[in-house]
Structure 1
Amino acid sequence: MNNEREKSGLALDLTHAKLAQYLPFLAWMKASTQKSIYSDFLAALTGLIVVLPQGVAYALIAGVPPEYGLYTAIIVPIVTALFGSSWHLISGPAAAISIVVLSIASSVADSTQSDFISAVLLLTFLVGVIQFGLGIARLGVLVNFISHTVVIGFTAGAALLIATSQFKYVLGVKLESGLSFLATWNHVFTSLGQANVYDIVIAASTIVFTLIAKRLKSPIPPMLLGMLASILVCFLLQGTSHNVSMVGAMPSGLPVFYVPNWSQDLFSALLPGATALAILGLVEAVSISRAIAIKSGQRIDGNQEFIGQGLANMIGSFFSCHAASGSFTRSGVNYDAGARTPLAALFTAFMLILVLWFVPNITAYLPLSAMGGAIMLIAWNLIDSKHIHHIFKSNRQESIILLVTFFATLFMALEFAIYLGVLVSLLMYLKRTSQPRVMNVAPKSYEPSIDLRSVERFDLDELEKVKIIRIDGSIFFGAVNHIQKEIQLRQKADPQLRHILIHGPGINFIDLSGAEMLEREARRLEQESCSLYFCALKNTVMDEIRNYGLMENIGEDHFFASADDALSTLDISNKDSF
């Protein structure tokens, strides 16, 4: 009887574990305690204060009504909390994502606001479908093809675009929509004479008070204090009497169900941009999840995170949400505030619902210029100056990737800027792999075994009639010309050379083109009274050599297990000098 109960309990545990793979909320709900629920509730209160100004700000960046940002901060976190992998990631409106949404939607939508909104919502749905599909196909590895340098360069460019887009609010002037980066700056300079001094003062007060609150390490979010200060400044200056525009009150109640425009033409026009935006959103979400997981000790499932983000954007598109991703600021605040489970994200979402239901006038007295100042600060904080300086200082190729991505972001369609950054980084990688390091090595010592080191670095004497070269990299079709050239240069430089020994612990694999090149070189060297040998190859590389027939064609006696075996077999006339 007891055995049957144990078996039954084991079967239930296995079933629950299996379900938790597809329904992650089962795991954290089971782990929730009264203490963790209380901690999540307190963290949610902090999250609410942070998301209120950010939700409105990012909606303005995306070009949609302010309430859409808060709708996004309600629906998206609920879905990602239930189906995502991270217990601390807070998804929703994000600055870089919002500027891409504006860029893509404005490039395909007609001039009316309703057409633009339809484009934004369909774009959000497509982003969700692509993300969900990548997660189901277990293609989480795709995010690894977007290097951190590309993300830094893109984000810095997006930050400059975001700041540029806010000048019309900060200066209180009218600028045409859809202008390029340079055209916008040109219009800004030509419109300085019509700038509203009251808007400038209000925007400056937002920036100044936010920075002061940040410097004083205020327990209340500095941006919120900056906005409250700007409302007070606007009231004291009687801003409404001097043409200062307000954000206005938001509609009360919950986001309503709305079906996006499903026209074939709009679908086709948005698909390329949706693909780039989907991948960018996944990179942000997974990067933030992993960064926080290092502190929390949680294991992140990238594919499940894809699924959670995809479902959130798909469902959100039917409830007036623009495309969203993880928020580093809100996620960091959530973890630092003591959140234990995704229940904190659910609590914050429900609190936002209460705000929209009972106090929709919360933004009625908020000047647009104050929002513009706050968004400029957000843009400034997006620029990772520390990493940018490190990249420029340490790596020329990474610097090129960063600059290409940055300028492409400013002067190209944003989705193509991401593609270009990825393409350049892949080309740089291919260039490096096609030119593996080939160095001369020689014995530094013979006891207890032969220790081969770089001739140049350790200033070593090379052996007579023997050239030992180490190859660090794979011998594949892209690298065969480079390696063949290096072998030939060494042979021609020493007419007395009789043996070339390739020391191969740094060789990862050899493909058919590589094997054929080595066989040709071995035949050529034999004709010129020189022999090609190999030692210390990995077992997997030896398997490839056998499969390609290289060992059979040039002889098994040309392959040695170690440098000791090779040099003890070859005629080394000056061994005693070491």
Structure 2
Amino acid sequence: MQRRRASRWLPFLPWMSALTTADIRRDTMAGLTGAVLVVPQGVAYALLAGLPPQYGLYTAIVPAALAALFGSSRQMVSGPTAALSIALFATLQPMAGTGGTDYLSMVLTLTFVAGLFQLLLGLARLGVLVDLVSHSVVTGFTAGAAVIIAVNQVPYLLGLPSMTSDGFLGLVPLLLESLGNAQGLPALIAAATIGGCLAIRRWLPRWPAMLLALVGASALAVWLDPQGTVINRITAMPGGLPPLSAPDLTLDNLRQVTPGAIALGLLGLVEAAAIARAFAARNGERIDANQEFIGQGLSNLAGPFFSGYLSSGSFTRSGLNAMAGAGSPLAAVLSAVILVPVLLVAAPLLSHVPMAAMGGLLLVVAFNLIDRDSIIEAIRCSRAETAVLLITFASTLLLALEFAVYFGVLASLALYLRRTTRPPVLIKTLDQAPARLQQTLVEPETDVVRIDGSLFFGACETVDQQLEPLVAPNLVILAAGINFLDLSGIHLLRKQAHLCQARGGQLYLAWPKPDVETRLRRAGILIDQSDNKDVITFIRTTKAMFL
């Protein structure tokens, strides 16, 4: 009992106690690989979030280690992500601009509030809430975020001054007006970075493509523009451990960031849960969504005190972690630990990296964010899923990003309710009914109706309208598809039974499910069963029930 209780609050104890020497060796190599990959990724994502480059690396240390220790996935690696970085930028940039102390303070505060929200959901055992965000919502959001990422990199690719605007639609005209001032050398650097990254991924898939592409682009930039007058470089990044910091929890700051924090916190949970489930399915494992919520919440709750911003599961780093042979969360923890000396060594070198090269890498990231297979699948298979995807995509481009998630969820729920409140009702004659039913019923004047959906308050009006034209004395409802019946559904059946009696016939239910029949008995409807009890149930009622 004590061990189970300890495992609940300290979920890393079971897997840590089961580690062997071979496991530690394998996880160490995977952690080293992840630490090398996160350097260019962390820098890129921090710039995407409107933050100094070192904050991306800070976010990959303490928050990533806490998410691994207190989560439930054995191979997922957390840290800065592209989708959350661009969402964070789009949410806070209209409030505080970028680059200043006010903006950084709001970033840390939003991260803290989002972490608190995630932790409370996990402690309340509300992991099921992540199921409200459908796959189409995530696909539409990430596709929209990818477009925003790509458009925001155009100034760096063409050597243009940094541009700020009120949203995606405001930035496009500014870019079109500035195209005449484009520079050739930054565009060449960006093209070389993209080409080198894609080539390494194609022919040397186990090599760190992003890191090698950055090194090559930096060398090319030094050769073409040694003074940095045309090809802008990244601002010099201080080395050292992440400095201690704290969120600003004043009432005014909390009021501004809380709506966005809740939306981005939910998005981070969806992203992490989806990645954790994907890797668990590959390995035949199960994840605990509530524990995953707790792990993500603790990582974002503690991150702001160590200069970390909003983090979640990273599909790229998790995939590399799995491919490198990681077998436990120790790999993610070691990746965070190894990153500390890497940060001390690499920080001074980042001032030689061209902004155009970072923009090129972010274009690669944006392209990979678009889940083309899921988009094609949605278009081929479901108009409703396509509508949800397009609504979320358009909302991401036209609205604040936190509202895009809300719109996508609302669209999913609206379409789901539309389907459930309009269950298919198929009307047949008796000679079209199943043979077993024809053998049981001998009355010729009988309508047969099949209802494929639950009879609840939202569906009864639609079903009643479709049953209204029926005039035969007897009515048979094929009830095998009725999974649930509420009080409104009981009233509907009472009404139909009364109408059948008024025409000199009866109402029958064929193959009702046990729960449905039990509810009808409790409702006081008189039920008789035929000799063939598994086929048909007779429902009789009295006029007194309708007075």
Q: What is the correspondence of 1:443-462 to structure 2 with a 5 Å cutoff?
A: none
Instruction: Report the CA distance between 1:437 and its aligned residue.
Output: 1.4
Indicate conservation of the 8 Å contact 2:473/2:501, yes or no: no
The one of 487, 498, 522 equivalent to 1:547 is 522
The one of 219, 232, 240 equivalent to 1:245 is 232
Instruction: Report the CA distance between 1:450 and its aligned residue.
Output: 5.4
Q: What is the correspondence of 1:69-80 to structure 2 with a 5 Å cutoff?
A: 69-80=56-67
Does residue 474 (structure 1) correspond to residue 454 (structure 2)? The answer is yes
Does residue 515 (structure 1) correspond to residue 495 (structure 2)? The answer is no
1:189 aligned residue: 176
**Alpha-carbon distance in 1 for matches of 2:369, 2:127:** 25
**Alpha-carbon distance in 2 for matches of 1:509, 1:172:** 62
**Alpha-carbon distance in 1 for matches of 2:221, 2:443:** 83
* Greater Cα offset, 385-394 or 320-329: 385-394
Does residue 527 (structure 1) correspond to residue 507 (structure 2)? The answer is no
1:273 aligned residue: 260
Instruction: Report the CA distance between 1:134 and its aligned residue.
Output: 0.1
Q: What is the correspondence of 1:144-155 to structure 2 with a 5 Å cutoff?
A: 144-155=131-142
1:537 aligned residue: 512
SS at match of 1:362: helix
**Alpha-carbon distance in 1 for matches of 2:410, 2:110:** 24
* Greater Cα offset, 14-23 or 205-214: 14-23
SS at match of 2:482: coil
Indicate conservation of the 8 Å contact 1:533/1:559, yes or no: no
Instruction: Report the CA distance between 1:557 and its aligned residue.
Output: 5.7
The one of 316, 319, 323 equivalent to 1:332 is 319
**Alpha-carbon distance in 2 for matches of 1:544, 1:182:** 55
Letter of the 2:21 counterpart: Q
**Alpha-carbon distance in 2 for matches of 1:221, 1:533:** 69
SS at match of 2:234: coil
The one of 529, 535, 540 equivalent to 1:563 is 535
Closer, same or farther: CA 185–397 of 1 in aligned 2, 3 Å: same
**Alpha-carbon distance in 2 for matches of 1:534, 1:396:** 33
Indicate conservation of the 8 Å contact 1:258/1:320, yes or no: yes
**Alpha-carbon distance in 2 for matches of 1:110, 1:58:** 17
Does residue 204 (structure 1) correspond to residue 198 (structure 2)? The answer is no
Does residue 120 (structure 1) correspond to residue 107 (structure 2)? The answer is yes
Closer, same or farther: CA 564–525 of 1 in aligned 2, 3 Å: closer
Closer, same or farther: CA 69–43 of 1 in aligned 2, 3 Å: same
Instruction: Report the CA distance between 1:377 and its aligned residue.
Output: 0.8
Number of residue-to-residue matches in the alignment? 537
Instruction: Report the CA distance between 1:82 and its aligned residue.
Output: 1.2
Q: What is the correspondence of 1:112-191 to structure 2 with a 5 Å cutoff?
A: 113-191=100-178
2:545 aligned residue: none
Instruction: Report the CA distance between 1:52 and its aligned residue.
Output: 1.1
The one of 38, 42, 47 equivalent to 1:60 is 47
Instruction: Report the CA distance between 1:204 and its aligned residue.
Output: 0.8
* Greater Cα offset, 384-393 or 557-566: 557-566
SS at match of 2:508: strand
Letter of the 2:284 counterpart: G
**Alpha-carbon distance in 1 for matches of 2:112, 2:199:** 40
The CA deviation string for residues 231-264 of structure 1, in whole angstroms up to 9 with x for no partner, is 1221221253442111143211111111122221
The CA deviation string for residues 298-325 of structure 1, in whole angstroms up to 9 with x for no partner, is 2200000000000000100111111010
Instruction: Report the CA distance between 1:530 and its aligned residue.
Output: 3.5
SS at match of 2:408: helix
The CA deviation string for residues 322-381 of structure 1, in whole angstroms up to 9 with x for no partner, is 101000111111011101111111111111100222342131211011000100110010
Instruction: Report the CA distance between 1:445 and its aligned residue.
Output: 9.3
Does residue 418 (structure 1) correspond to residue 405 (structure 2)? The answer is yes
Indicate conservation of the 8 Å contact 2:50/2:98, yes or no: no
Closer, same or farther: CA 226–537 of 1 in aligned 2, 3 Å: same
Indicate conservation of the 8 Å contact 1:503/1:563, yes or no: no
The CA deviation string for residues 418-463 of structure 1, in whole angstroms up to 9 with x for no partner, is 101100110000000001112246678988x5599xxxxxxxxx98
Closer, same or farther: CA 239–526 of 1 in aligned 2, 3 Å: farther
1:571 aligned residue: none
Instruction: Report the CA distance between 1:202 and its aligned residue.
Output: 0.5
Segments of 5+ residues of structure 1 without an aligned counterpart are: 1-13, 453-461, 567-578
Indicate conservation of the 8 Å contact 1:90/1:331, yes or no: yes
Indicate conservation of the 8 Å contact 2:478/2:511, yes or no: yes
Letter of the 2:105 counterpart: S
Instruction: Report the CA distance between 1:189 and its aligned residue.
Output: 1.1
The CA deviation string for residues 50-98 of structure 1, in whole angstroms up to 9 with x for no partner, is 1111111110111111100000011111101111111111000000011
2:477 aligned residue: 502
The one of 78, 97, 101 equivalent to 2:84 is 97
Percent identity, aligned pairs only, is: 42
**Alpha-carbon distance in 1 for matches of 2:490, 2:302:** 53
2:391 aligned residue: 404
Instruction: Report the CA distance between 1:559 and its aligned residue.
Output: 12
Indicate conservation of the 8 Å contact 2:33/2:324, yes or no: yes
Q: TM-score of the superposition, structure 1-length normalised?
A: 0.89
* Greater Cα offset, 221-230 or 38-47: 221-230
Closer, same or farther: CA 445–396 of 1 in aligned 2, 3 Å: closer
SS at match of 2:60: helix
Indicate conservation of the 8 Å contact 2:35/2:335, yes or no: yes
Letter of the 1:562 counterpart: D
Closer, same or farther: CA 80–162 of 1 in aligned 2, 3 Å: same
Letter of the 1:410 counterpart: L
Letter of the 2:361 counterpart: A
Closer, same or farther: CA 213–446 of 1 in aligned 2, 3 Å: closer
SS at match of 1:240: coil
Indicate conservation of the 8 Å contact 1:202/1:230, yes or no: yes
The one of 472, 478, 485 equivalent to 2:465 is 485
Closer, same or farther: CA 559–95 of 1 in aligned 2, 3 Å: farther
**Alpha-carbon distance in 2 for matches of 1:111, 1:249:** 17
Instruction: Report the CA distance between 1:558 and its aligned residue.
Output: 9.0
SS at match of 2:239: coil
**Alpha-carbon distance in 2 for matches of 1:94, 1:209:** 22
Indicate conservation of the 8 Å contact 2:508/2:537, yes or no: no
Closer, same or farther: CA 362–451 of 1 in aligned 2, 3 Å: farther
SS at match of 1:166: helix
Letter of the 1:478 counterpart: G
**Alpha-carbon distance in 1 for matches of 2:97, 2:530:** 71
* Greater Cα offset, 522-531 or 71-80: 522-531
**Alpha-carbon distance in 2 for matches of 1:559, 1:481:** 33
Letter of the 2:278 counterpart: A
Instruction: Report the CA distance between 1:38 and its aligned residue.
Output: 0.2
Letter of the 1:512 counterpart: L
Instruction: Report the CA distance between 1:221 and its aligned residue.
Output: 2.1
Indicate conservation of the 8 Å contact 1:500/1:533, yes or no: yes
Segments of 5+ residues of structure 2 without an aligned counterpart are: 539-547
1:47 aligned residue: 34
